[in-house]
Amino acid sequence: MSTAHTSAGRLEAHHDYHGPQKGWRRWVFATNHKDIGTMYLLFSLTMFFVGGVMALIVRAELFQPGLQLVDPMFFNSMTTMHALVMIFGAVMPAFVGLANWMLPLQVGAPDMALPRMNNFSFWILPFAFTLLLSTLFVPGGGPAGGWTMYPPLVLQTGDAFPMMIFAIHLMGASSIMGAINVIVTIMNMRAPGMSLLKMPLFTWTWLITAYLLIAVMPVLAGAVTMLLTDHFFGTTFFEAAGGGDPVMYQHIFWFFGHPEVYIMILPAFGIVSEIIPTFSRKPLFGYDAMVYATAAIAFLSFIVWAHHMFTVGMPLAGQMFFMLATMLISVPTGVKVFNWTATMFKGSISFEPPMLFALSFLFLFTIGGFSGLMLAIVPADFQYHDTYFVVAHFHYVLVPGAVFAIMAAVYYWLPKWTGHMYDMKLAKWHFWLSTIFVNVLFFPQHFLGLAGMPRRIPDYNTQFADWNMVSSIGAFGFGLSQLLFAYIVFRTIRGGAKATDKVWDGGAPHGLEWTLSSPPPYHSFETAPEVK
Footprint (CB under 8 A) of another protein, residues 334-353: 334-335, 337-339, 341-342, 344-350
Q: Please list every residue from 53 through 92 that binds another protein, using CB under 8 A.
A: 64-68, 70-73, 76
Residue selected from 33, 82, 169, 282 as contacting another protein according to rule CB under 8 A: 282
> Please, are residues 416 and 505 in contact by the beta-carbon 8 Å criterion?
no
Site for another protein in 126-145 (CB under 8 A): 144-145
From residue 455 to residue 474, what is the string marking binding to another protein with x (rule CB under 8 A)? xxxxxxxxx-xxx-x-----
Cα→Cα distances 178→81, 88, 115, 470, Å? 23, 13, 10, 40
C-alpha pair distances (Å), 80 with each of 73, 124, 264, 395: 11, 21, 18, 15
Is 152 a binding residue for another protein by CB under 8 A? The answer is: yes
Least Å distance, CB 315 to another protein, is 9
Binder among 385, 395, 416, 430 for another protein (CB under 8 A): 385
Measured between alpha carbons, how far is 387 from 416 in angstroms, rounded to an integer? 43
Q: Is 524 helix (H, G, I), strand (E, B) or coil?
A: coil
Query: Interacting stretch for another protein, rule CB under 8 A, among 123-131, 255-263, 312-320, 414-422?
Result: 312-320
Q: For another protein, which is the closer residue by CB, 93 or 507?
A: 507
Cβ(476)–Cβ(398) under 8 Å? no
In the range 2-61, which residues lie near another protein by CB under 8 A? none
Are 271 and 406 in contact by the 8 Å Cβ rule? The answer is yes
For another protein, the closer CB: 80 or 119: 80
Which position among 253, 255, 285, 442 is part of the footprint of another protein (CB under 8 A)?
Answer: 285
Segment interacting with another protein, rule: CB under 8 A, options 12-20, 323-331, 396-404, 477-485: 323-331
Q: How far is the CB of 354 from another protein (least distance, A)?
A: 14
Distance CA 184, CA 203 (A): 12
Q: In whole angstroms, give the CA distance from residue 57 to residue 70.
A: 8
Judged by CB, which is closer to another protein: 262, or 287? 287
Interface region with another protein, contact rule CB under 8 A, candidates 12-20, 163-171, 329-337, 406-414: 329-337
- For position 318 contacting another protein by CB under 8 A, the verdict is no
Phi-psi region of 108 (alpha: psi -120 to 50; beta: other; left: phi over 0): left
Identity of the amino acid at 204? W
Distance CA 488, CA 55 (A): 23
- Residues 391, 456 contacting (CB under 8 angstroms): no
Taking the least distance from each CB to another protein, the nearer of 27 and 443 is: 443
Q: How many residues does the chain have?
A: 532
